[in-house]
Chains A and B, each alone.
Chain A
Amino acid sequence: MDIFLQQLVNGLTLGAVYAVVALGYTMVYGIIQLINFAHGEVVMIGAMVAFTIINALAGSGLPPIVIVVIATGCAIPVCMLVGYAMERFAYRPLRRAPRLAPLITAIGVSIILQHLAMMVWSRNVLAFPQIIRTETYMLAGAAITNVQIVIIAISIAMMAALAWLVYGTRLGTAMRATAQNPQVAGLMGVDINAVIASTFLIGAALAAVAGVMVGSYYGVAQYTMGSLLGLKAFSAAVLGGIGNIPGAMVGGVLLGVVEALGAGYIGNLSDLCRIPGIASLLEERCRGDAHFILFGSNYQDVFAFFVLILVLTLRPSGLLGERVSDRA
């Protein structure tokens, strides 16, 4: 039981990060139907900038919390700049082009950002300076660290802030109007370009915070870290129904939990020597305390994507996606 609870805690932390990154994918898709594959790279740049600042300030004697806040404060504008530049120079000129063109451009932007980061921060795995002391608390047999609590809390706060922004402000109304019909929104006096640019800015700011969280959680950063994280977050967005903001949150958390539980239990579940009917057939092989494991924990990612495929087969528009055919 405590193991199950522990996997749940692991999964929730991971899921909170996925959810924050998935929001960036889903918001952009909701407005201009573009899958911004370079979003994972923005997360990476956030982590890298924070790494540089924390490294520079680590010896300054400032309290660790202040250093991390300053680092995050520097990472956010840098990422917003990257997000804005991406939209202004790579996607806006292609807004009227066939949909495949911006998609390929997004992949190109992702590769460019990755290699720029490689040139600036080298190919090496960078060790995030561990200035914050990790405290572990026991909660009914499950260990949870202060870093995990902060990650979950900040993720929830950011998601709440975003929900307020989208559903409770003028900018949010303009965003939703643009998402429904850009032409009509434009006729109603909404500045489409400004709205789209601000969507990229908000997504990039979320990505920057996610980057700092991932970096300080795992303690490592590398120029390639954005690609798999981006892919997972994109899957989370699809799982929840791409274009749907609550969907991205639900999808992210769900994907994180499924992944953690999958890695924890898939080995035991696929151990042929523990399955009564089959164990007797494999008597020779299973004698004594032997195991015959079909899928080890390295199938963690496979398991997550298997769940994704299953959900999409049953609900093609995702868990919370609207069943609107002209959306995609």
Chain B
Amino acid sequence: MERKLIITGVVAAVASMALAGCGKKDDGVIRIGHVAPLTGGIAHLGKDNENGARLAIEEANAAKPTLGGKPVRFEIIAEDDQADPKVGTTVAQKLVDAKVVGVVGHLNSGVSIPASSIYNQAGIPVISGSSTNPQLTEQGYKTQFRVVGRDDQQGPAVASYLAATRKPKVVAVVDDATAYGEGLANEVEKTLTAAGIKVLPREKGDDKKTDWKAIVTKLRGEKPDAVFYGGMDATAGPLLKQARELGLTAVFAFGDGACTDKMKELAGNAAEGLLCSQAGIPAQAADKKFLDAYKARFNVDPILYAPFTYDAANLLIAAMKKADSADPAKYLPDLAKIEYDGATGHIAFDAKGDRKDAEMTIFTMKSGKIEPIAVIKSGRTIPFAEFTGAAASATAAPKPATAKK
């Protein structure tokens, strides 16, 4: 009922926007859309994403940009998709009707995927800074890009880190029987088996499970050295807590769904020392210049994916400048073959629109906080301290070059 009202509201808003959009044309304003949930449980992450894109656009305007010889001004149209696929498609249509030339978003894979076909039909390039589900770029849409890694890169990353640093002989793999959890667990199992590690028969729960005792008891009998769980923190927390209560001492590793500080609340002291992975790099490892500018503009530190949406918006603008046009059809080819140094490092896209050499970060829980310990890049494990050191010096050197672009 409530949702129906909201949707009606959105539809009404779309209609009025469309009418308003008819009036202004060719006034030198180039509209770029940004979509993320701005209400609901992950509204704080949505706002973080929006801030990243907003900062990029404000910086671009400060440089008095021109396209095709005429001065232009970029404008952000920030929308709320409520992390809901249905609302996401409505909002996507609204942006298309408002004649945006490019979109940064959406935050959730589940929303990005249905929305991507709408942007594709309209021929509008869209770059997600946080959607990691492989399917997003597997649909063959030429307009879809992402600057963050994919889940099927995340599994091998966390598995190879586990294999290399903890040297387990027997590993138990558990999942929550969802597309995300099972997919991730499959990738981990593949990598571990390839490394010659024995993997126990898969145990499965579901995404609402709170009682893991029976499964953990069974695992305890098999004496695994490590356990990997593909699932979200809500189920991973109880799993870890009950495992420690039952005396299972194995190392626990998780994917990004359970790579949150909430694990500490859910599992208590049992959460100490867990390993987990996230696609991309932590916000604090982004370019120093970006971090300072973000802090100065919004008076908070970026939380998670803001550096990625900042880069995404900059990529759209850089491609437009290169093509000297804001027409999506004209600048899309330039976007596809762009080489760009952004806040999250060097960015180039492969044929599918995925970022080449996307980084994965491995975290551990240390005194109640998730802390990065290593970055995996092109199959190489780099300790985190070394990575940030390297990133700082790398971005320091070519700065004049990026400024010229």
Contacts and interface: CB of A to CB of B under 8 A. Distances in A.
B201 A267 contact: yes
B238 interface: yes
A300 B241 CA distance: 20
Nearest to B263: A127
Interface string A257-287: 0011111110100010000000000000000
B220 A3 contact: yes
B268 A143 contact: no
B217 A122 contact: no
B238 A296 contact: no
B181 to A, nearest CB: 11
Given A143-B245, A219-B268, A296 B202 contact: yes
A220 B234 contact: yes
B110 to A, nearest CB: 15
Interface in B16-63: 41
Interface stretch (A6-14, A27-35, A59-67, A175-183): A6-14
Interface in B201-220: 201-206, 208, 210-211, 213-215, 217-218, 220
B269 to A, nearest CB: 8
A136 interface: yes
Contact of A263 (B215, B220, B247, B268): B215
A218 interface: yes
A298 B218 contact: no
Nearest to A134: B245
A291 interface: yes
B142 interface: no
Nearest to B241: A219
B246 interface: yes
A127 B237 contact: yes
A224 interface: yes
A145 interface: yes
Q: Which of A11, A143, A224, A265 has its CB near the most chain B CB atoms (within 10 A)?
A: A143
Contacts of A134: 245, 268
B266 interface: yes
B210 A225 contact: yes
Q: Which of B177, B211, B245, B267 has its CB near the most chain A CB atoms (within 10 A)?
A: B211
A293 B201 contact: yes
A325 interface: no
Contacts of A125: 233-234, 266
Contact of B215 (A130, A218, A297): A297
B218 A127 contact: no
A124 B245 contact: no
B201 A127 contact: no
A6 B241 contact: no
Contact of B214 (A7, A130, A224): A7
A298 B206 contact: yes
A267 B262 contact: no
B218 A123 contact: no
A56 B405 CA distance: 54
Nearest to A136: B245
Contact of B217 (A10, A13, A300): A10
Contact of B41 (A7, A123, A143, A289): A123
A297 B174 CA distance: 10
B268 A300 contact: no
A116 interface: no
Contacts of B68: none
A163 interface: no
A145 B208 contact: no
A259 B214 contact: yes
A11 B214 CA distance: 8
B262 A127 contact: yes
A300 B211 CA distance: 11
Given A3-B220, A122-B41, A296-B201, A260 B213 contact: yes
Interface string A94-111: 000000000000000000
B204 A298 contact: yes
Contacts of B218: 3, 7, 263-265, 267, 297
Interface in A141-185: 143, 145
A70 interface: no
B210 A264 contact: no
B398 interface: no
Interface in B178-231: 198, 201-206, 208, 210-211, 213-215, 217-218, 220-221
Nearest to A290: B201
Interface in A208-228: 218-220, 222, 224-225, 228
B265 interface: yes
A7 B217 contact: yes
Given A263-B214, A291-B201, A297-B205, 18 more contacts: A13-B213, A122-B41, A124-B41, A125-B266, A136-B247, A138-B247, A143-B245, A218-B242, A220-B237, A222-B234, A228-B208, A259-B214, A260-B217, A264-B215, A289-B198, A293-B201, A297-B203, A297-B214
Interface of B: 41, 177, 198, 201-206, 208, 210-211, 213-215, 217-218, 220-221, 233-234, 237-238, 241-242, 245-247, 262, 265-268
10 contacts: A3-B218, A7-B214, A11-B214, A14-B213, A125-B266, A218-B210, A218-B238, A263-B214, A264-B218, A298-B206
Lowest 3 A-B CB distances belong to which pairs?
A: A263-B214, A127-B265, A298-B204
Interface of A: 3, 6-7, 10-11, 13-14, 122-125, 127, 130, 134, 136, 138, 143, 145, 218-220, 222, 224-225, 228, 259-265, 267, 271, 289, 291, 293, 296-298, 300
